[in-house]
Structure 1
Amino acid sequence: MHLPVTKIELSPDRWHFNIISPRSATITNPQGKRQVSYFGFVTQEKALAFKQWLEEKELCTTAIARRAERLTTEWECKVWGAKTELILKLAIHSLEEIDCNGS
């Protein structure tokens, strides 16, 4: 599956917001290194459960669940230290959900 990443320049010094799917995105520094990832959720409960799962499985260095500030979902989990494989897996999963639901 091809992931169409939309890059939005956040600042003149080339920080980027990279939208991977409607429910996942990253921010990269001017050198292209990922600084943080975002995963979107419909409810606070789902965002908190995801945060807890990440921490229990040691899949990140830090995570916070909050009302969405970067994504178009109601809630998001802002995650530091997530591996690329996890980000891609979750992005593909969210795109597949959209395809299955026809929206």
Structure 2
Amino acid sequence: MLNITRVELSSDGWTFNILSPRVATITNPLGEIKVSYFGFDSLEKANIFKQWLLKNQKCSVATVRKSERLSMAFECKAWAVPTELIAEGETK
């Protein structure tokens, strides 16, 4: 069972969900995942993960940036990631 920390982003129900120091999501008021974040300690690892996501069609769009949402140095922000991949990332 996941221990999720939820942070309210707006009064209308948008939520930031922290699954682990490396994985988080933002959900809309209906609880649907709109974007996922995967944290990495290096830019190189984040870019490798982004390329893997895109090559294997595990997301619709992905970008890498200095972390804004996670406690890691860099994050890969991706849209339309399968729930199974998000849960798997939380356990690693």
Query: TM-score per shorter chain, which class?
Result: over 0.9
1:6-44 deviation per Cα after TM superposition (whole angstroms, max 9, x unaligned)? 110001111000000110000001111110000000000
Superposition pairs of residues 13-52 of structure 1, within 5 angstroms: 13-52=12-51
Identity of aligned residues (%): 52
Amino acid at match of 2:58: L
Aligned length: 92
Q: Root-mean-square deviation (CA), in Å?
A: 0.6
Contact 1:3 1:92 in 2 (8 A): no
Alignment of 1:1-103 (within 5 A): 2-93=1-92
Higher strand share: 2
Q: Give the SS at the match of 2:51.
A: helix
TM-score, structure 1 length as denominator?
0.87
Unpaired runs of at least 5, structure 1: 94-103
